[in-house]
Amino acid sequence: MRMKSKGLGNLELVGRPEQVRREGDHMILSLHTEEPMRSNVRVALDHRDITRITWLWLTSSAPLFLVSGLRSRKNPRPPAGF
C-alpha cells in the first residue's frame, strides 16, 4: 500500500494493513509503514466513514480491479504521478 500526505511534501510511505478491530463506536485500522521509515499509523472509522468508503468502492472500478487481480498475481508497478 502506498500513502501520501500533502503535509509530508513529496514523501511517499509504503506499508501494509495489519489489523482491524472494534473499539466502542469505531473500527480501528492499524497500518504498519516500512519505507522510508518504520512507523505505525492508526485510523478510527465510524459508521458514516465505512458507509462512504463502501459506496465509493462499489461505484468505482475497484470490484473489476479486484477480480482481475485474482487472475494475475504479478508484482505491481508504482502508479505514475502518484
Write out pLDDT tens, residues 35-63.
888 888 899 999 999 999 899 888 888 87
| Strand blocks (E) in 1-82 | 2-4, 12-23, 26-35, 39-45
* Predicted pLDDT of residue 60: 87
Cβ atoms < 10 Å from Cβ of 74: 6
- Look at residues 37, 38, 20 and name the one whose alpha carbon lies nearest to residue 29: 20
CB neighbour list of residue 40: distance below 8 Å, 6 or more residues apart: 18, 30, 31, 32, 33
Full-model pTM: 0.66
Quote the pLDDT of residue 70. 67
Confidence of residue 72 (pLDDT cuts 50, 70, 90): low
Domain residues of the chain, as ranges? 2-67
Grid coordinates representing 79 are 502508479
